[in-house]
Structure 1
Amino acid sequence: MPKFLIQATYTSEGAKGLLKDGASSRRAAVDQVVTGLGGEVESMYFAFGESDTVIVVDFPDAVSMAAVSLAVKASGALQTRATPLLTLDEVDEATRREVTFRAPGR
C-alpha cells in the first residue's frame, strides 16, 4: 500500500477541540477515518513547532489520501500537508527507468 507522511497544524478552533477532547481522542478519530478507507495508521506523534502532529499512514491508493485531505481541510480545524513516501526499492526502480528531459532554455 502507498505510504504517506501527513503533517498538520491546528487552527485556533482545532486547538480548542484538542484541549477539550485530548490527544487519545484525536488518535481514535484518525484511526477511524484511515481504517474506514482500508488504510492503517503506522504512527502518530504530537509535536510543537511548524507542525502540531505528524502521522504516517498506509492507504490503498492516492485517491483515499486525497479524500481524507479534502475532508480534513474542509473542516477548518487543521491545515495539512501530505507527502508520498517511497521505499528504497521504489526509488531503485525509478533510477532504472530511462527519462528524456530537456531543461528549460537548453
Structure 2
Amino acid sequence: MPKYLVKASYNPAGAQGLLAEGGSARRDALTASVESVGGTVETFLYAFGGDDLYIVMDVPDNVSAAALGLTIGAAGAITWNTTVMLTPEEIDEAVGRSVSYRAPGA
C-alpha cells in the first residue's frame, strides 16, 4: 500500500479544538478517518515549530489520499499537506527507467 507523509498545522480554531479534546482524541479521530478509506496510521506525532502534526499513513491509492486531504482541509481547522513517499526499491525501479528529456535552452 502506498505510504504518505502528512504535515499539518492548526489554525486558531483548530488549536482551540485540540485544547478542548486533547491530543489522544484527535489522534483517534484522524485514525478513524484514515481507516474509513481502507488505510492505517503508522505514525502520529505532535511537534512545535513550522508544523504542528506529522503523520505517516498507508492508504490504498492517491485518490484515497486526496479524499482525506480534501475532506479534512475543507473542515477548516488545519492546513493539510500530503507528500507521497517512496521505498528504496521504488527508487531502484525509477533509476532503471529510461526517460527522454531535453533541458531548457538545450
Unaligned runs of 5+ in 1: none
Matched, 1:33 2:33: yes
- Match of 1:35, SS? helix
Matched, 1:97 2:100: no
Unaligned runs of 5+ in 2: none
Matched, 1:81 2:81: yes
CA distance in 2, matches of 1:78, 1:102: 40
Instruction: Summarize the alignment of residues 2-81 of structure 1 with structure 2, pairs less than 5 Å apart.
Output: 2-81=2-81
CA distance in 2, matches of 1:25, 1:99: 46
Q: Identity of aligned pairs, percent?
A: 48
TM-score by length of 2: 0.99
CA distance in 2, matches of 1:38, 1:80: 19
CA distance in 2, matches of 1:14, 1:95: 41
* Deviation for aligned residue 1:80: 1.2
Number of aligned residue pairs: 106
CA distance in 2, matches of 1:88, 1:105: 33
TM-score by length of 1: 0.99
CA distance in 2, matches of 1:72, 1:33: 9
